[in-house]
Chains A and B, each alone.
Chain A
Amino acid sequence: MNKKANRQNRILPLFTLHLFAVFMLMASDPIPAPKQKKPLALTGGTIYTVSGPVIPNGTVVFDKGIITAVGTNVTIPADAERIDISGKSVYPGLIDSYSTMGLKEIGSVRGTLDHSEAGDMNSNARAEVAVHPESKLIPVARSGGITITGTTPVGGLIAGTSAAILMDGWTWEEMTLKAPLGLTVNWPTMIYTASPFSRQTKEEWMKDRDARLKALNDAFAAARAYVIAKRAEQSKGIPRHDTDLRWEALIPVLERKIPVWVNANELTQIQAAITWAEKENVRLIIVGGRDAWRITNQLKAKNIPVIVTDVLSSPSRRWEEYDLVYSLPGKLKEAGILFCISGDTDPSNARNLNHHAATAAAFGLSKEDALKAVTLDAARVLGIDSLVGSIEPGKQATVLVVSGDILELSSTVEQVYIQGKTVDMRNMHKRLYDKYTEKYRQLKETE
């Protein structure tokens, strides 16, 4: 009994749980938090600033959603609410940089799936407009410390643009921290591997691959022509050029305002993507990057960041080392590549992001860099590091209070603050957990 009560205290510190009435309250949905009304000071915790040294027994103050002070010698405003978090740790909110969060709910139910548009040319698809604020996956993710996702469409050759989505808010507009982040492209497979499941012959496959590569090149060429034609429209005697949404969407990419996120794991895909990006003069981020460690000098020379997805996986080649993917982030770090770690692209288990980072730490990456890979460096790769990613004055107060080391599975994220808002920590899992805890309490009572 003691144990159970203990657990509940850890998970739901803000609620007192004794009465059935309270249980009823808990059984309701989590509610988006109101804006921060008065300054808040978290005192006595260990502060992992990420941008600077770890501050033991420190204080973080934030007001109007922005961090105002961090340190051991901090003046706390008189009107501030003080929360003693002694023995606990404060971390920047975790950023899951490559996810279908908000777009995908139940894998087998098509009506709940909005992550994969039909066709190959979806440059105009915008992730943020289909983010479902009611997604039951979101409160679960933030209980695992996820505060921001790089939500992306994934369908077709050009999948669409991604957005930085906050894990709290009433509408998708409120939840959108920044959009567009990047243009997601699924690089065609370059090397044929025979498989009993493949329906194509090698020749058919090659034809298909070549057509896809051509389609990608054609799209960018068409977009350039579109820009020229549109610009010329102002000149005398030039006829009207009607809007093409697909090419409109590529303009920020051509202008290097947003990067292309290219899904590329295998070496030839990464090589081809680099060459292509150079030729097209677009900014490139490699997503996946299983083979990226083989050509770090080339990535470094071109300053290409990598989003390492799903660290908790194994190599695709029989002969490769069992820990190849676990040790990939460590290798990229050693080579001086800017990278971040994202979890499983499927949003249901976004909450395990800390586990992916921790595994990298067990296999060659320092714990500090592992933490950085899911906070500040993730913000840098996503281009939102001026807003979030570390605990320093001026940045948004998107922070976590954790019972212990966030890289350990036994730790609990006790409270999440997003832009200073005290986030409702309830979620469907906790609701069901409590509901059936109540069932067994009732059973015991009537025994």
Chain B
Amino acid sequence: MANARTRIAGGTRTRFSAHLGRRLVRGCADQLIDSPATVVALLLAFGFCTMAVFAPWLAPHDTSDVGTLDLMQALRPPVWLEGGDWAYLLGTDDQGRDMLSGIIFGARTSLLVSGVAVLLATLLGTAVGLFCGWVGGRPDAVLMRIAEVQLSFPAILIVLLIDGLGRTAVSTDLHNVAAVPVLIIAIALSNWVQIARTVRGSSMAEKNKEYVQAARVLGIHPAAILLRHILPNIFAPVLVIATLGIAGAILTEATLSFLGVGVPPTQPSLGTLIRFGNNFLISGEWWMTVFPGLALVLLALSVNIVGDWLRDVLNPKLS
């Protein structure tokens, strides 16, 4: 009985996450049998995340430390080719920087930028979506028109705009410092609309359900109804869209960095690595661009597959 009482007293949050967790575990077990591709993708995504978090300890060289650079080691091919060195598994670039370490640090930057951007987009999108879905009427119409206008501007355009303004307004040093936040904001701005629309649609459907009406009859504050009743019930699709959004954001970040308006050259990202490697592709040093490219493809693909898997697992009609 005492045990039962403590369980009754459990908070909404733990109950909610326990519920989600159970479904994830069950879905995971099913997928192990059904689709080996998903398992590989899950492992890969997990591997990339671990790599990103522990980059300073995992990477064989510190690419940001100019003191360790050795120009004699420049343009070394991967270890299995003639002239390869075990110290540089995937070869080096024209400055003698280790490609493997570059990729590890680059994946870190890419994941950081896209993760924070999508987090911001999710927060903004969920807030706007819940508000619009609940209030409806004119505020909803106005905000959704703004969202549609926003939707017609791709992230590249936003970054180029802010970047262009920034270059004329501030010094290069400040510009380099501000580059990553600008990138994050631009990617977040191009992602929030989709989340806001999904949240708005689901919460509109949810708000007319009788459990929400019952809460309204109790006189519970709308904010509490939104956070405690509606949000947990519409969270599954948000999670899926956010995960798929991370895959998209990784590619956007790489694209922008490839174009030279993303992460500053002093900080490796997968996009910048590909951009620099690209100059050497014709002259035979293919590893400088192929390996970061491969890493980018694997990262985006695995995150995408994880997103698809989440969508299936969290869909009650499929599980």
A binds B: no
Residue numbers of A with Cβ under 8 A of B are: none
Residue numbers of B with Cβ under 8 A of A are: none
